[in-house]
Amino acid sequence: MAVALNPHDSALALAGMDEAVFARWVALLERRTGVVVAPQRKPFLVSAVRARMREVGYGNFMQYFEHISAPGAGAVEWATLVDRLTVHETRFFRHMPSFDLIRERWLPERLGNGIGALHAWSVGCASGEEAWSLAMVLHHGLLGHGGKVHFGVTASDVSSAAVATARAAIYPRGRIEEVPALYRAKYVEMRGEEAFTPIASLRKRVAFARVNLLQAAAAPLQRLNLIFCQNVLMYFARERRRELLDGLAGLLEPQGLLLIGPGEVTSWSHPALTRVAWQGTLAYQRRD
Ligand SMILES: C[S@@+](CC[C@H](N)C(=O)[O-])C[C@H]1O[C@@H](n2cnc3c(N)ncnc32)[C@H](O)[C@@H]1O
């Protein structure tokens, strides 16, 4: 239960987080999300937790930690807090070489091999821009195939608030320039004067879910043709990144493509995957 303090007590109690308490918060976050908070990011963690504690009336980091660690109400509160403790920075077409690889090589090859359906996954979609970009590239690449190739994109994130924003898909007008002109002309429309949104035919191709990458094996996601996992693993410990990539490799269909952010993992390989040579990308394709 929340402990409401008067503002004076609260300010005193919240003045600092000692190293032992910080270590417990770091361990909890890593255990539940995989995200590692380095010592130099302590101010970020402290201010995010402190802001949330003020909102719910807690005056002591350890008391709030105990609340959040408990099942039931703690799980509900955790769902809100996790959104504050994760970084959601993203853009449409953020990593253009990855989209070029899909558009110029991978998709034409799949179509040449007579693929009948495509299922893509944006693993840490934040506010959705990556998933919408993927949907635009796939929709456009499949034009001319007479609707014979069905495609869908699943967009997921550990943060339910991020997933809700991605699903709402209302973006400020100023960011429309991130969408290349070709796709902008076809796949987005204005919502009033100040916002834009993907068109309805694109919306029906994208499904949203809260999925924790640490529990991806339990999610109903299998036989994927494309997995986009960019700017997510960089927040995880190196050894954990390899384990998670092994898991993602197991979800790919033959010829399926895994796209990671360049530099997010070094010297990882998987017996069923081949590294794809495409400038500026870190991509792996599953063999038959
Ligand atoms: C910096 S954003 C990257 C967004 C997008 N992929 C891009 O490259 O622009 C990282 C996202 O990963 C999500 N994330 C962190 N830990 C996660 C986990 N264990 N499972 C799923 N998503 C996670 C965060 O909530 C955040 O929205």
**Centroid of ligand 1 to alpha carbon of 162 (angstroms):** 9
pLDDT at residue 271 in the model:
97
Tell me, what's the pLDDT at 11? Answer: 40
CA distance 45 to 10: 18
pLDDT one-digit tens code per residue, 12-42: 345 689 999 999 999 999 999 999 999 999 9
Residue 122 and residue 191 in one domain: yes
Q: By alpha-carbon position, which residue is closest to atom 7 of ligand 1?
A: 90
Closest CA to 256 of 73, 121, 94, 154: 121
Task: Give the residue carrying structure tokens 């934040």.
Answer: 126
Verify that 102 and 230 share a domain, yes or no: yes
Calculate what percentage of the chain has a pLDDT beyond 90.
85
What does the pLDDT average to over 226-233? 98
Q: What distance in angstroms lies between residue 101's CA and the mean position of ligand 1's atoms?
A: 22
- At residue 145, the pLDDT reads 81
Q: How confident is the model at residue 82 (pLDDT cuts 50, 70, 90)?
A: very high
User: In this structure, what CATH number is given to the domain that contains residue 182?
Assistant: 3.40.50.150
Among 157, 227, 241, which is best to mutate for testing ligand 1, by the most ligand atoms less than 8 A from CB?
157
Is the same domain home to 75 and 116? no
**Model confidence over 87-118: pLDDT tens digits?**
999 999 999 999 999 999 999 999 999 999 99
* Residues within 6 Å of ligand 1 by CB: 33-35, 86-90, 94, 124, 126, 130, 157-159, 162, 212-214, 230-232, 235
Supply the pLDDT for residue 288.
Answer: 78
pLDDT tens per residue, range 139-195:
999 987 877 899 999 999 999 999 999 999 999 999 999 999 999 999 999 999 999
Sheet with 252-260: strands ordered across = 206-210, 150-157, 117-122, 224-229, 252-260, 282-286, 273-276
d(CA 280, CA 252): 22
Q: Are residues 40 and 107 in the same domain?
A: no
Residue at 61 is within a domain = yes
Same domain, 210 and 155: yes
Domains: count for the chain: 2
Considering the domain boundaries, does residue 42 fall inside one?
A: yes
Res 147: pLDDT: 74
To test the pocket of ligand 1, the residue of 167, 232, 258, 281 to mutate (highest count of ligand atoms within 8 Å of its CB) is 232
59 and 113, same domain (yes or no): no
Three-class HEC string of the chain: CCCCCCHHHHHHHCCCCCHHHHHHHHHHHHHHHCECCCHHHHHHHHHHHHHHHHHHCCCCHHHHHHHHHCCCHHHHHHHHHHHHHCCCCCCCCCCHHHHHHHHHHHHHHHHHCCCCEEEEEECCCCCCHHHHHHHHHHHHHHCCCCCCCEEEEEEEECCHHHHHHHHHCCEEHHHHHHCCHHHHHHHEEEECCCEEEECHHHHCCEEEEECCHHHHHHCCCCCEEEEEECCCHHHECHHHHHHHHHHHHHCEEEEEEEEECCCCCCCCCCCCEEEECCCCCEEEEECC
Question: Last residue of some domain: 85, 112, 130?
Answer: 85
Confirm whether 1 is domain-assigned: no
The pLDDT of 240-261, averaged and rounded, is 96
Q: What CATH number corresponds to the domain at position 67? A: 1.10.155.10
Structural domain includes residue 174: yes
Domain ranges, residue 43:
7-85
Centre of ligand 1 to C-alpha 95, Å, is 15
Residue at which a domain ends, from 36, 62, 85:
85
Residue 214 is assigned to a structural domain of this protein? yes
Q: Which residues pair with 122 in a beta bridge?
A: 155, 228
Give pLDDT, residue 3. Answer: 37
- Which residue from 207, 201, 221, 226 is spatially nearest to 109, judged by alpha carbons? 226
Instruction: Assign 244 a pLDDT band (cuts: 50, 70, 90).
Output: very high
Q: Which of 85, 120, 136 is the last residue of a domain?
A: 85
- 71 and 140 belong to one structural domain: no
In this structure, of 75-79, 127-131, 251-255, the range with the lowest mean pLDDT score is: 75-79
| Model pLDDT for residues 62-78, shown as the tens digit of each residue | 999 999 998 888 998 99
Answer yes or no: do 237 and 131 share one domain. Answer: yes
Of 17 and 126, more confident: 126
**Structure tokens that stand for 240 in this block:** 């954990």
Clarify whether residues 160 and 272 are in a common domain.
Answer: yes
Q: What is the mean pLDDT of the chain?
A: 92
Examine the pLDDT at 4 and tell me if it is beyond 60. Answer: no
- Do 272 and 248 share a structural domain? yes
Identify whether 90 is part of a domain.
no
Q: How many CB atoms lie within 10 A of CB 237?
A: 13
Q: What is the pLDDT of residues 275-285, one digit of tens each?
A: 999 999 999 99
Closest Cα to atom 11 of ligand 1: 124
